[in-house]
Chain A
Amino acid sequence: MIPLKIVKRDDLPRNKAIMIRIVSVVLSIVFAGLVIALLGYNPITIFTSMVKGALGTSIRIQQTTLKAVPLLITSLGILVAFKMKFWNIGGEGQIMMGAFAASAVALNLNLPRPLMLLSMAIAAMVMGGLWAFIPAFFKAKMGTNETIFTLMLNYLAIKFVTYLQYGPWKDPASQGFPKIATFSKEAILPSVGGVHIGWMIALILVVLVYIFLNHTKKGYEISVVGESIETARYAGMNISSVIIISMLLSGGLCGLTGMIQASAVEKTLSSSLSANYGFTAIITTWLAGLNAIATLFVCIAFAILVQGGNYIQISMQVPASVADMIQAIILFFVLGSEFFLQYKVSFHMYAKVKKEAK
């Protein structure tokens, strides 16, 4: 038998929790370094190049920001749901449906730019919210499992956009290539500081979501429902309405990501637009400990990893898989530390000896 004893922790002092997190990051870097060295690269050069590649020049900072924005807004959306312990795995689909609604506006209406962008954003948030409302409704009324439900709705959304791309929305000017027409200039978000204004929207949303969750009645209700439905019911909260409102918000924020990506980045709709942000955001939200402010920093850190990884592929001509591996190792350790935050591990033999000594 493995001489290990695993016990769930009741309570963990704050400094110890921070300690575990720091150790996990250090270990992940050491371990990633080992693997890099075994592959025949110099780990120090690789790591410094990654940081330089993500933050070294203003162009690189812009590229890092471009990656952080969709991740951050999606994470905030996921956060609102996770706070309620509603496991919204459907960010990917909500992004897609948001992008779809924004594109429907962009491709069919002829409006002046501010009005166009506003309509696209509203359409995207409503559509993303509605897409999240479906599983929320069934959870609230029939107690269905939201994890499976939201996950499956992702594939529905992606297939739907694929259908549009290959079918009715295919650009007639593309000579049969399955792509949707590019938006007009009116439908494209302006840039500030070399990056589309999505970064400002994201920062504002961090503050708004933080205030909403921590300093409003509805935000408090969401936490209470998350902690204990019984308590919420006893306190006379309308649980169904809390579930539905928080999911409308969660999906709405993810939908907004879809609008920003479609408008500012792809400048059209495509079935690869969501680019796994809906899934990656689950990790970043979790790592941020379900805190809106922390989400900002985790998403930036993650974007640095991604941009740094892209950079070293080109600057050092390392295979894409090396960068992927570094990301995977760091995530593995950092997520693994969650286990040690939740559980206490002790060596069985040691415990036994101690008992006998008594």
Chain B
Amino acid sequence: MKKFTKFLAFALAVTMSMTALVGCGGGASEPAADADKAAEASDTAEATKVGFIYIGSQNDGGYSQAQHNGTKAVKEYFGDKVETIIAENVAEDKQTVKTTAINMIDQGASIVIGTSFGFMDALEELATEYPDVTFLHFSGNKMNDTNFGNYFGAMEEPRYLTGMIAGMMTKTNKLGYVAAFPYTEVHIGVNAFALGAQSVNPDVEVKVVYTNSWGDPAGEKAAAESLLAQDCDIITQHADSAGPQLAAEAAGKLAIGYNLDNSEIVPGAFLTAPVWHHDKYLVPTIEKIIAGTYVPESYYGTMKDGYIGLAPMTDLVPQDVQDKVNEVAAKMEAGEYPVFVGPISDTKGNVLVAEGETLDRAGIWTVMQTLVKGVSAVE
């Protein structure tokens, strides 16, 4: 027992000397405590609490960061009327999503916003279990009549524009596409990109590699590298991280991003990116929910609405290319340039969209499940 006491004394001594160290750190902990108090105080001030659930981290250099920009815009717009709380790195399994959302509701959140497709079924269950809470789901296709709506955007429009840029700038006529899943949302983007490229360059080929994950920086980079090895000289992506862009830069090739303007992170390769302006949907919708006038809808923002768009093209894009893209972009912004106009055929030559036919939103989500001619995919 004596030796044990000695050990204890030693351990305590170590602890105490470290406590002395923390004396300095103690000051830093004060603001946190204050912030906590402030949070409690604002509870009583009846601020509407809005919980945001992200699949990645708020600074992932892509998807979740774009979502977080929307959250910040909400906070800025509403000021003290709204308190935003976030949960990062939430996996797409039901237990994790539900626990996260329930913890938010338990802390007074009356609006919960899930920003990944895989959160859908959990949110659907929650909407039944918590009828007083409003649930919004980004990229989903489920909703109800009372407290569960979804929102998304016509990403095919800016994707088409990026396809035009790639089609005009490629020297090898091979474009690489790092794609998350062989899922309709992803295929709509791939197809729009391919059609945009083909509109300016009939010989262009689009090669797709799936990562089978929404966010996997290492896997996305590896997928981009395999595409670069197959002679693709411009890489684009439907994946969450900046990995593919960094891979393109390292290989001395070019990249078109997704979600965010990464011109400063990848200056040597970044051309542009299709981007989201989530605030355009979130601000008016949250306003309606607070006012009690919200009716669940399935929002589909377009370039005309300003919900989606193209990040400013960098100097790496030649002026004549920029002019041509801007011309089409202007038509899209006016709502006069649909992306999926026949004739469009699939990889085997079967007609998907007949000549003279144009796909509307519902048509896009049913027909564009398969890939169009000129695209080849490795699963």
B11 touches A (CB below 8 Å): yes
List 14 extra interface pairs beyond A16-B4, A179-B118, A319-B88, CB under 8 A. Answer: A37-B25, A37-B28, A40-B28, A42-B29, A57-B106, A59-B106, A63-B102, A63-B103, A166-B212, A175-B183, A267-B125, A270-B93, A275-B96, A315-B107
Whether B121 contacts A31 by the Cβ 8 Å rule is no
- Which of B25, B32, B121 is A38 in contact with, Cβ under 8 Å? B25
B283 touches A (CB below 8 Å): no
CB contact list, A310-358 vs B, under 8 A = 310-311, 313-317, 319-320, 340, 344-346
A225 vs B115: C-alpha distance when bound (angstroms): 53
Q: Which A residues are in CB contact (< 8 Å) with B293?
A: none
CB contact list, B4-27 vs A, under 8 A = 4, 7-8, 11, 15, 18-19, 21-22, 25-26
Whether B95 contacts A314 by the Cβ 8 Å rule is no
A53 touches B (CB below 8 Å): yes
Whether B107 contacts A275 by the Cβ 8 Å rule is no
- Which of A45, A57, A311 is B32 in contact with, Cβ under 8 Å? A45
Whether B19 contacts A34 by the Cβ 8 Å rule is yes
Interface residues of A (CB under 8 A from B): 16, 19-20, 23, 27, 30-31, 34, 36-38, 40-43, 45, 53, 57, 59-60, 63, 66-67, 166, 174-179, 182, 261, 265-268, 270, 272-273, 275, 307, 310-311, 313-317, 319-320, 340, 344-346
Q: How far is the CB of A57 from chain B (nearest CB, A)?
A: 6
**11 interchain pairs, CB-CB under 8 A:** A27-B15, A31-B15, A34-B15, A34-B22, A38-B22, A63-B103, A175-B184, A177-B181, A265-B94, A267-B94, A340-B7
CB contact list, B168-191 vs A, under 8 A = 181-185, 187
Which residue from chain A places its CB closest to the CB of B107 in the assembled complex?
A315
Overall SS of chain B's interface: helix
Which residue from chain B places its CB closest to the CB of A312 in the assembled complex?
B103
Whether A310 contacts B88 by the Cβ 8 Å rule is no
A43 vs B22: C-alpha distance when bound (angstroms): 11
A307 vs B102: C-alpha distance when bound (angstroms): 11
Q: Which A residues are in CB contact (< 8 Å) with B117?
A: 177
By the criterion of a CB under 8 Å from any partner CB, how many residues of chain B are at the interface?
Answer: 55
Which residue from chain A places its CB closest to the CB of B96 in the assembled complex?
A275
Whether A16 contacts B1 by the Cβ 8 Å rule is yes
Q: Which A residues are in CB contact (< 8 Å) with B29?
A: 36-37, 40-43
A37 vs B33: C-alpha distance when bound (angstroms): 11
Whether B95 contacts A266 by the Cβ 8 Å rule is yes
B289 touches A (CB below 8 Å): no
A315 vs B39: C-alpha distance when bound (angstroms): 9
Whether B36 contacts A45 by the Cβ 8 Å rule is yes
CB contact list, B104-119 vs A, under 8 A = 104-107, 117-118
Whether B365 contacts A175 by the Cβ 8 Å rule is yes
B51 touches A (CB below 8 Å): yes
B85 touches A (CB below 8 Å): yes
A64 vs B7: C-alpha distance when bound (angstroms): 36
